[in-house]
Amino acid sequence: MSQQLESYQDEIYLTGLTGAVPELPTGLHQLEEAAQAVMAPRAFDYVAGAAGSGETARENLLAFRRWRIVPRMLTDVSTPSYSARLLGTDLNVPFLLAPIGVLRIVHPDGEPAVARAAAAAGVPMILSTAASTAMEDVAAASGDGQRWYQLYWPKDRAVAASMLGRAAAAGYRVLVVTLDTRTLAWRPRDLDHGYLPFLEGVGIQNYLSDPAFQAGQVTSVADDPQTAILRFTQIFGDLSLTWEDIPFLQEHWHGPIVLKGILSVADAQRAAQAGVAGIVVSNHGGRQVDGAIAALDALPAIAQAVGSKLAVLFDSGVRGGADMVKALALGAQAVLVGRPYVYGLALGGQAGVRHVLRALRHDFEVTMRLAGLARLSELGPDCLQRRP
Ligand SMILES: Cc1cc2nc3c(=O)[nH]c(=O)nc-3n(C[C@H](O)[C@H](O)[C@H](O)COP(=O)(O)O)c2cc1C
């Protein structure tokens, strides 16, 4: 694993001597605006949009603003190391790519472009069940890159088991099971376009390519895509799932299991009792329960309660290195980056994702150094102050 720090900043300044400037914004919070200028309106709204009033999505960002880093001086940061090992996965820096479906709606190169960029940067990718490219093809693009698989747990157990078997065979090492999407939220920005990509057959490639899914079809997927799409809508979510169903996952997946979408201490404790390896504290980027608690506000108590028993990951609102520092200081062992890499993909395909990964890594590493922190183990709540 590379211990070298990212040198993107030097590269940009040196290239700047020739008059060249970066093609994409280096301020990651500016990516959304830049992406909007190049994306089809309905694709942009699908990515940027949220549930209901959008209040939770906004609150995710505001929650970070309520915490301030307290930099320390005269500490030796000459040989820092911010690498970590999490559930058997090596992290150069403690972030992974969040599972995001239907990436071909933002760029024709879709998930394979993200997989190539992530593998080259040494950043693990979590592939969504709702990918617009079959998981085996994404694995091929990822090569020897580290990859995890995210399951939307379908109602049809044969399809669920089949997907898990395929993911293991294709080299996905950790299973992330997303619990917060029992069904789709009321999302006005998609509703106003009358747009759901799945109904156009985008984002269901893992289903269409699945032998158990195909076996349940009277007509072949190729001959009768509309019937296949209809069946996808019928099996997508299982509203009857409870904690009692977790053993099904453990029976069909032999690596670490991480539950995504945990926002309460009670559920985090339940996850620990259920014997899973980790959780992602997340509200799905504000896309599910409108009015839900900001994910960052949920993090400290959850990390305090289960951090010694479970890997605690975090997402929803990470937009730069300082946000990463704050989430890690509040108890996350790693964060997932979501919308920013999708905007990078929209703006520049694989190169755009590479830019976002490099910028985020450099921003994180330099923020750590300037805050006087040479190791991840030095992060803790005492590195932050809550804004009055
Ligand atoms: C366009 C879009 C699609 C998403 N698709 C999935 C998905 O297929 N599976 C999943 O578990 N989470 C999905 N998420 C949620 C992300 O994994 C992550 O929780 C969220 O993006 C974090 O919020 P942030 O992007 O605002 O930081 C999606 C998010 C977006 C924006």
Beta strands in the chain (DSSP E): 67-69, 84-86, 89-91, 95-97, 125-128, 147-151, 175-178, 257-262, 278-281, 311-314, 334-337, 384-386
Ligand 1 close to Cβ of residue 339 (< 6 A): yes
Catalytic residue flag (residue 29): no
Ligand 1 close to Cβ of residue 43 (< 6 A): no
Provide the pLDDT for residue 112: 99
3-state secondary structure of 126: strand
Q: Tell me phi and psi for residue 195, to 5 degrees.
A: -120, 120
Q: What band does 5 get if pLDDT is binned at 50, 70 and 90? A: confident
155: number of Cβ within 10 Å: 14
247: number of Cβ within 10 Å: 11
Name which residue sits closest to atom 20 of ligand 1, judged by CA. 285
User: What is the Cα–Cα distance from 301 to 299, expressed in whole angstroms?
Assistant: 6
Facing residues of 95 across strands?
A: 335
Q: What is the mean pLDDT of the chain?
A: 97
Number of H helices, E strands in the chain: 16, 12
Name which residue sits closest to atom 5 of ligand 1, judged by CA. 100
Tens digit of each residue's pLDDT (9 = 90 or more) over 344-374: 999 999 999 999 999 999 999 999 999 999 9
Ligand 1, atom nearest to 339 Cα: 25
Tokens of 219: 């007509």
Of 107, 193, 284, 362, which one is the catalytic site residue? 284
Ligand 1 close to Cβ of residue 317 (< 6 A): yes
Provide the pLDDT for residue 6: 80
What does pTM read for this prediction?
A: 0.98
Ligand 1, atom nearest to 338 Cα: 25
Tens digit of each residue's pLDDT (9 = 90 or more) over 321-338: 999 999 999 999 999 999
Ligand 1 close to Cβ of residue 151 (< 6 A): no
Mean pLDDT computed over 70-83: 98
Ligand 1 close to Cβ of residue 282 (< 6 A): yes
- 108 has a pLDDT exceeding 50: yes
Name which residue sits closest to atom 7 of ligand 1, judged by CA. 100
Tens digit of each residue's pLDDT (9 = 90 or more) over 298-310: 999 999 999 999 9
Query: 């940067």: which residue's tokens?
Result: 121
Residue type present at position 73: M
Tokens of 332: 């996350």
Q: Are 364 and 329 in contact (CB under 8 A)?
A: no
